[in-house]
């Protein structure tokens, strides 16, 4: 059994707590956060503290706080267990504590009210030494079937890739949604298409799966589309179309 103290109260912390409740080999013994924010999303039976001096002894201190605060927070952390952050964009050596350092990055988009299948969430792990890595593996394997070893440099690129794959594609959906509202048709019409766009990638690479006017370099349709767009959306259309045409030329 791995004992864990969870640090933070944001979306990632909420879901990491839920994932831990469900895991057999993990015991979440305490939560720490600066404030009572989001308290209602956590199981009230878990002991909670706002006082760093009250931290309990645990195998793992899992930090799920803002990226910006990880470094300075870890400096104040005087514990003997392994300290691991959950950030995709921070290197291992951003941790300034004296005890063992690790990273346990769950590659998923977390909204508080979302139900997630934790068993499918990829966990990307890194640690300074083999013993700490084994502890993180045991922890992550008890939650998910998708556990990867990823170093800080790879994780930096992975996080960047996730911004394109998740954040930016969601913004494409937002522009599509705007068009549906402005023209009185239901955004639901597009949902099966969105699902298929992703499902296709189970057996095609994105480069094989590409379709559409830019893929065919269909300048007539492209010109027609550009005439209907203004400012930012037009700029986005132009720059992505240019990139797709370049990819296939």
Q: Is 137 in the site for a second copy (CB under 8 A)?
A: no
Dihedral sign (CA 92, 97, 101, 106): negative
- Residue 7: burial class (beta carbons within 10 Å; 0-12, 13-18, 19+): buried
Give the total of residues touching a second copy (CB under 8 A): 93
Q: Which of 93, 171, 217, 223 binds a second copy (CB under 8 A)?
A: 171
Pairing of strands 60-63, 2-7: parallel
- Cβ proximity to a second copy: between 50 and 174 the closer is 174
| Shortest distance in whole angstroms from residue 144 CB to a second copy | 9
Strand partners, 4: 28, 60
Considering only 4, 103, 124, 125, the residue that binds a second copy (CB under 8 A) is 124
Nearest distance, CB of residue 178 and a second copy, angstroms:
8
Q: How far is the CB of 102 from a second copy (least distance, A)?
A: 18
Which of residues 39, 43, 93, 228 is near a second copy by CB under 8 A? 228
Q: Does 76 bind a second copy (CB under 8 A)?
A: no
Q: Binding to a second copy by residue 152, rule CB under 8 A?
A: no
Of the residues 108, 126, 135, 139, which one makes contact with a second copy according to CB under 8 A: 108
Give yes or no for a contact between 118 and 22, defined as CB atoms under 8 angstroms apart.
yes
Residues 43-72 that bind a second copy (CB under 8 A): 67-68
Question: Shortest distance, CB of residue 116 to a second copy, whole angstroms?
Answer: 7
Report how far residue 6's alpha carbon sits from residue 223's, in angstroms, rounded to the nearest whole number.
53
Hey, which residues between 17 and 36 contact a second copy (CB under 8 A)? Answer: none
Closer CB to a second copy, residue 36 or residue 223? 223
Alpha-carbon distance of 25 to 1, in angstroms, equals 5
The token pair at 19 is 């994932």
Closest of 190, 197, 196, 163 to residue 176, by C-alpha: 190
133 forms part of the interface with a second copy (CB under 8 A): no
Residues 6+ apart with CB under 8 A from 27: 1, 2, 3, 4, 20
153 is a contact residue toward a second copy (CB under 8 A): yes
| Exposed e or buried b per residue across 155-178, where buried means at least 16 C-beta atoms within 10 angstroms of its C-beta | beebbeebeebeeeeeeeeeeeee
Query: Looking at 72, 80, 129, 177, which residue binds a second copy (CB under 8 A)?
Result: 177
- Taking the least distance from each CB to a second copy, the nearer of 55 and 176 is 176
The stretch among 1-9, 14-22, 93-101, 228-236 that binds a second copy (CB under 8 A) is: 228-236
Please calculate the CA angle 172-173-177 and round it to the nearest 5 degrees. 120
**H or E element in which residue 192 lies:** helix 191-199
Residue 244 touches a second copy, criterion: CB under 8 A: yes
> Minimum distance from CB of 133 to a second copy (Å)?
16
């Amino acid at each position: 059994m791995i004992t864990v103290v969870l640090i933070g109260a944001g979306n990632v912390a909420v879901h990491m707590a839920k994932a831990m409740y469900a895991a057999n080999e993990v015991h979440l013994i305490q939560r720490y956060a600066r404030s009572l924010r989001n308290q209602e999303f956590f199981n009230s039976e878990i002991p909670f503290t706002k006082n760093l001096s009250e931290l309990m002894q645990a195998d793992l201190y899992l930090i799920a706080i803002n990226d910006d605060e990880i470094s300075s927070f870890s400096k104040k952390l005087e514990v003997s267990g392994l300290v691991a952050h959950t950030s995709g964009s921070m290197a291992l050596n951003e941790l300034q504590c004296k005890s063992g350092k690790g990273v346990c990055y769950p590659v998923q988009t977390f909204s508080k009210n979302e139900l997630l299948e934790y068993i499918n969430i990829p966990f990307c792990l890194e640690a300074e030494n083999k013993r700490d890595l084994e502890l993180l593996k045991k922890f992550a394997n008890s939650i998910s079937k998708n556990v990867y070893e990823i170093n800080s440099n790879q994780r930096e690129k992975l996080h960047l890739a996730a911004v394109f794959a998740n954040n930016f594609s969601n913004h494409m959906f937002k522009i599509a949604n705007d068009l549906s509202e402005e023209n009185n048709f239901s955004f639901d019409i597009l949902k099966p298409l969105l699902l298929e766009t992703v499902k296709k990638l189970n057996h095609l690479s994105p480069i094989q799966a590409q379709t559409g006017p830019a893929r065919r370099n269909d300048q007539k349709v492209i010109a027609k589309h550009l005439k209907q767009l203004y400012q930012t959306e037009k700029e986005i259309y132009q720059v992505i179309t240019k990139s797709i045409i370049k990819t296939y030329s």
